[in-house]
Amino acid sequence: MDNDLTVPGYYYAIAGAASGCITRFICQPLDVVKIRFQLQVEPIKSSSTSKYHSMSQTIVLITKEENIYALWKGHIPAQMLSIVYGTCQFYVYNIVNNHFARFGFLNDKTKSMHLLSGALAGSFATFVTFPLDIVRTRLIAQSSQNQAYNGMLHSCIKIYKHESMRGLYRGLIPALIQIAPHTGIQFWSYELLKNINFLLISQPKKPNYHNNVSVINSLIAGCLTGLLAKSIVYPLDLVKKRLQIQGFQKSRIGFGEFFLCNSLRSCLVLTVKKEGIQGLFKGLVPSLFKAALSTALHFTVYEQILNSLRSL
């Protein structure tokens, strides 16, 4: 993803959109499981008070109670989110990098500037797509037997009517606090790792730098990058999800105790008080699976599509 000032900006947007679309479709079931875990106040273990105990049990239970399509619940807004997010993220990232390059900020000794570029790109993309994230989370959270929302448009109208515009941006602050370091770390670590010869096999040099990043390198670097970034910021992701369902009555969710909080601080304090420190990492396992898979796919698909566009 190193800068080439001759590449049209819309190439980055197209590659980012396609990457987001493909990655979202493949990883959506893991996202559903992760969000169900995050919203369940009871411990994620075998007990009489917990509905969801493990990844496999949750997938089987959701399929049994709600059918297999429930694993893609909220997929339309999620897909729109991913396409718009991927477009904004990669486009803004490369635009910022181009400006840095013109002023000589980016060179082999200053790869850390990718941290700032990624943070700015992630923050912008998050702000633009946040209402879609709210809708996606609410659609995933609701029970199929007792639905509050009938679809994406109905969700938007109802949230706006009953909670105002604030409802569509509920949880934005922890989201931005989370996404800036998360995306910054992703791009920074990917730039550091992508050219490591993980297979220790001699690879021919090609004139186009982008083609030097093999599919294997992209996959491995993306996987490690996703694990690192998600592990660091995970508690803020959990808090964001819990804030996003405020105003969404317990009867509409249907899988355990309802979590009531009204700010980043209160959500952190109540989570630790009710569930202990480990409560801040509830749903971490499926989240790490998803982060590793989605980040690997995101960067790899992006690189390959961008290479194809460059060769036209």
Residue 227 within any structural domain of the chain: yes
| CB-neighbour burial class of residue 238 (10 A; exposed 0-12, middle 13-18, buried 19+) | buried
Give dist(CA 65, CA 53) in Å, integer: 15
Instruction: Determine contact, residues 281/44, Cβ cutoff 8 Å.
Output: no
* Tally of structural domains, the chain: 1
Name the strand (E) or helix (H) holding 178.
helix 172-193
Q: What is the pTM of this model?
A: 0.75
Residue 133 within any structural domain of the chain: yes
Residue 254 within any structural domain of the chain: yes
What string of DSSP letters covers 194-216? Answer: TTS-TT-------SSGGGGS-HH
Residue 51 has a pLDDT of: 87
Residue 2 within any structural domain of the chain: no
Residue 306 within any structural domain of the chain: yes
Q: ∠ at Cα 238 (46, 256), nearest 5°?
A: 40
Q: Give the range among 54-63, 222-231, 253-262 with minimum mean pLDDT.
A: 253-262
Instruction: Determine contact, residues 237/282, Cβ cutoff 8 Å.
Output: no
List the domain range (segments joined by +) for residue 258: 9-310
Best mean pLDDT range from 111-115, 232-236, 261-265: 232-236
Q: Compute the average pLDDT of residues 174-186.
A: 91
Instruction: Determine contact, residues 43/50, Cβ cutoff 8 Å.
Output: yes
Q: Compute the average pLDDT of residues 109-138.
A: 87
154 CA to centre of own chain: 24
Average pLDDT over all residues of the chain: 84
Q: Compute the average pLDDT of residues 288-298.
A: 92
CA 21 → CA 85, 123, 128, 214, distances in Å?
Answer: 10, 20, 17, 21
Residue 55 within any structural domain of the chain: yes
Cα-Cα end-to-end distance for the chain: 18
108 has pLDDT over 60: no
The CATH number of residue 14's host domain is 1.50.40.10
Residue 3 within any structural domain of the chain: no
Residue 83 within any structural domain of the chain: yes
Give dist(CA 310, CA 312) in Å, integer: 6
What string of DSSP letters covers 228-268? Answer: HHHHHHHHHHHHHHHHHTTTS-HHHH-SSPPP---SHHHHH
Residue 99 has a pLDDT of: 81
For the four alpha carbons of 209, 215, 220 and 223, in that order, the dihedral sign comes to positive
Look at 161 and 252; give whichever has higher pLDDT.
Answer: 161
211 has pLDDT over 60: no
Q: Compute the average pLDDT of residues 220-237.
A: 92
What are the residue ranges of helices labelled H in 40-112? Answer: 55-66, 75-102
The token duo for 140 is 């995933």
Residue 1 has a pLDDT of: 59
